[in-house]
Amino acid sequence: MKPKLFLANWKMSLKPSEAAVLAKELVAAVKPPADQEVCLFPSFSALATVSQIINKSPLKLGAQDVFWQEHGAYTGEESVLTLKELGCDSVLIGHSERRKYCGETDEMVNKKVLACLEAGLRPVICVGETFEQRKNGQKDFIVMQQLEQALLGVSLTKYDRVVVAYEPVWVIGSGQAVAPEEAWYTLQVLKHFLLNSYAAETIQNQVSFLYGGSVNPENVAGFFGHEVLDGVLAGGVSLVAEQFSQLLKEVS
Ligand code: PGA
């Protein structure tokens, strides 16, 4: 059984001192049962501090990005080696904000996914359509294409773990999530699409499918009403310990 995943993307919302306070609050408030996994994604500058704080708790650590080379002259970047030394388990890759503001391309996403898997880190591959693309009826095509490009050359050995997070770009931070049925439909499209490249058993056991975009304690339980969904990627709501722990309780 794959655990239910609750990923907390803190984006660039907190200074390291604030991230430390939130991490301490979450360690105290969040006691995930055996079938739930919680992973926090602070910004790079807070990784070391948060890592120390959650060290003896069941909470896991993730990074919001990574570079594909292991070391060298790559000003401003961080490698898989650094993330591993800091205790990271997972890495967000291709979040729509990175695609939009930092020019992240499908090719870069693919290199990062390959680097993560090579290093034993779990890539969280983010895919999603803009409102424009959706209006033009391109949603399924766009998300399949993003996933296909992200996984080019990825063969998935039995040790590899991958997360696919469907996040409609226009819904992120809007306060208005899509209907659960729509998230399930899109995740099923993506799951079926992966059958072109991987065995059903591999997908079932090693790939987790998440929804992200304005998830909150009021709507979260509805998303877990279908077996295609393995978890959620939360932004805004993960910045308040009380709300995030309430989110988990709603699903227990
Ligand atoms: P949101 O962000 O929950 O604030 O919509 C989700 C995300 O960007 O991962």
pLDDT digits (tens, 9 = 90+) for 49-68: 999 999 999 999 999 999 99
Looking at residue 1, its pLDDT comes to 77
**Average pLDDT in the 130-139 region?**
97
pLDDT digits (tens, 9 = 90+) for 221-251: 999 999 999 999 999 999 999 999 999 999 9
- Ligand 1 neighbourhood includes 169 CB (under 6 angstroms): no
- Ligand 1 neighbourhood includes 23 CB (under 6 angstroms): no
pTM exceeds cut of 0.85 = yes
- Percent above pLDDT 70 for the chain: 100
238 alpha carbon to ligand 1 midpoint, in Å? 9
- Which protein residue has the closest C-alpha to ligand 1 atom 6? 235
Nearest to 120 by CA among 150, 152, 86, 160: 160
